[in-house]
Amino acid sequence: MKKQIALCLALLVAPLGNLFAANMYPSHPIRLIVPFPPGGAPDVVARLMADDMAKSLGQPIIVENKPGASANIGMSYVAKSKPDGYTIILSSASLAINKSMIKNTPFDPVDDFTPISLIAMVPSVMVVPANIPADSVQSFIDYARTHQGKLNYGTSGVGTTQHLAGVMFNKIANTDIVHIPHKGQNALVPELIAGRVQLSFNNISAVQPFVESKELKILAIALPERWSEFPDIPTFSQAGLPGFEVSSWLALFGPANLPKPILQKIYQAAKTAMDNPAIRDRVVSAGNYPVVSTPDDLKAFLDEEIGRWSKAVEQLENR
């Protein structure tokens, strides 16, 4: 009987404890994990958001880069963290891809995370060194076909959207461009500029300064229509590869079972940050489409992305 009474009391007290914790949240700094090296789109957007979210929440938000294993190191770290709102992650499409691409992924993208909010879409651009004798997608394809097996395409790692884009491009264009994975954008971009890597499907923020300095050339962008920010860049459909719209995205997640009151506080802080015109403008200028969603909408979006990428990986494995 005493054990039953103790159990009943515990069941009654637990919700009160959770409510108290939610009301006190946050009482100390929050860690925002970026599962990629500094310099890429996730890192840029995370740092843009962190200060504004900190103002809303009343505690500092510390951005920590935990790169490696195609983002699995950072994502696994958050999946195993305590669901108290003090460890969250700005993830990318890798969360939807890795379960299909990397069979021993140490987490489940649905069961081990709490969706908070979609933040931005990150359209890929096809970028080549300035010394490549091609100024269009078709002329690059022609060049690659005359150099089968001799050109490289660089990525931030196996299983990324960059990697899948390259494999899909080889298949669609009937080319044989060799995949060279790198440890993040800071390692990849210098190799691209130097011409040791001849192609990358990258985000605009990583390559834009070098496009402006004429060291790199963008041949196409993976969007349904031309982006008003970059009106001179054709879409892949306009460039002769219809349907080639491989892009990533950025979204906030917490560990599974994040209490709803804490979830709502983080979501509202993220929404407030992205509603700030100054932050939105800087996110756009960094090459991203700001898109804020509710936690439920992000859950539905993630389910769709997992299905889409699993089919793509299956097709690529059977090619």
CA–CA gap between residue 176 and residue 166 (Å, rounded): 10
pLDDT value of position 108 = 95
Check whether residue 114 and residue 253 sit in a common domain. Answer: yes
pLDDT band of 287, cuts 50, 70, 90:
confident
Check whether residue 35 and residue 117 sit in a common domain. Answer: yes
List, for residues 239-251, the tens digit of each pLDDT value: 999 877 778 899 9
Asked if residue 42 belongs to a domain, the reply is yes
Asked if residue 41 belongs to a domain, the reply is yes
pLDDT value of position 243 = 74
Look up the CATH number of the domain holding residue 74.
Answer: 3.40.190.150
Q: What pTM does this model have?
A: 0.76
Instruction: For residues 275-292, give the mean pLDDT.
Output: 89
Decide which of 203, 221, 239 is a domain's last residue.
Answer: 221
Asked if residue 267 belongs to a domain, the reply is yes
Instruction: For residues 65-93, give the mean pLDDT.
Output: 95
Per-residue b or e along 182-221, where b marks 16 or more CB atoms closer than 10 Å to that residue's CB:
bebbeebbebbbeeebbbbbbbbbbbbebbeeebbbbbbb
Predicted confidence (pLDDT) at residue 97 exceeds the cutoff of 70: yes
CA–CA gap between residue 79 and residue 307 (Å, rounded): 21
pLDDT value of position 95 = 93
Structural tokens at position 110: 């649905």
Instruction: Give me the number of domains the chain comprises.
Output: 2
Asked if residue 275 belongs to a domain, the reply is yes
The share of the chain scoring above pLDDT 90, in percent, equals 62
Check whether residue 132 and residue 80 sit in a common domain. Answer: no
Check whether residue 260 and residue 198 sit in a common domain. Answer: no
Instruction: For residues 150-169, give the mean pLDDT.
Output: 87
CA–CA gap between residue 314 and residue 299 (Å, rounded): 23
pLDDT value of position 21 = 56
pLDDT band of 302, cuts 50, 70, 90:
very high
Predicted confidence (pLDDT) at residue 14 exceeds the cutoff of 60: no
Check whether residue 210 and residue 279 sit in a common domain. Answer: no
Check whether residue 100 and residue 174 sit in a common domain. Answer: no
Look up the CATH number of the domain holding residue 206.
Answer: 3.40.190.10
CA–CA gap between residue 111 and residue 153 (Å, rounded): 34
List, for residues 215-241, the tens digit of each pLDDT value: 999 999 988 788 888 899 999 999 999
Check whether residue 116 and residue 257 sit in a common domain. Answer: yes
**Whose CA is closest to 258, among 24, 90, 25, 84?**
84
pLDDT value of position 238 = 95
Asked if residue 20 belongs to a domain, the reply is no
CA–CA gap between residue 38 and residue 270 (Å, rounded): 21
Check whether residue 116 and residue 162 sit in a common domain. Answer: no
**Position with higher pLDDT, 184 vs 177:** 177
Check whether residue 144 and residue 187 sit in a common domain. Answer: yes
Check whether residue 50 and residue 82 sit in a common domain. Answer: yes
Check whether residue 117 and residue 133 sit in a common domain. Answer: no
Instruction: For residues 11-35, give the mean pLDDT.
Output: 76
Asked if residue 303 belongs to a domain, the reply is yes
Decide which of 186, 221, 256 is a domain's last residue.
Answer: 221
Collect all residues with Cβ–Cβ distance below 8 Å to 290 and sequence separation of at least 6. 119, 120, 274, 280, 283, 284
Check whether residue 135 and residue 75 sit in a common domain. Answer: no
Decide which of 221, 255, 274 is a domain's last residue.
Answer: 221
pLDDT band of 150, cuts 50, 70, 90:
very high
Asked if residue 148 belongs to a domain, the reply is yes
220's enclosing H/E stretch is: strand 216-221
**Position with higher pLDDT, 17 vs 58:** 58
Give residue 165's domain range.
124-221
Asked if residue 147 belongs to a domain, the reply is yes
Map residue 114 onto helix, strand or coil: strand
- Give 90's strand partners: 252
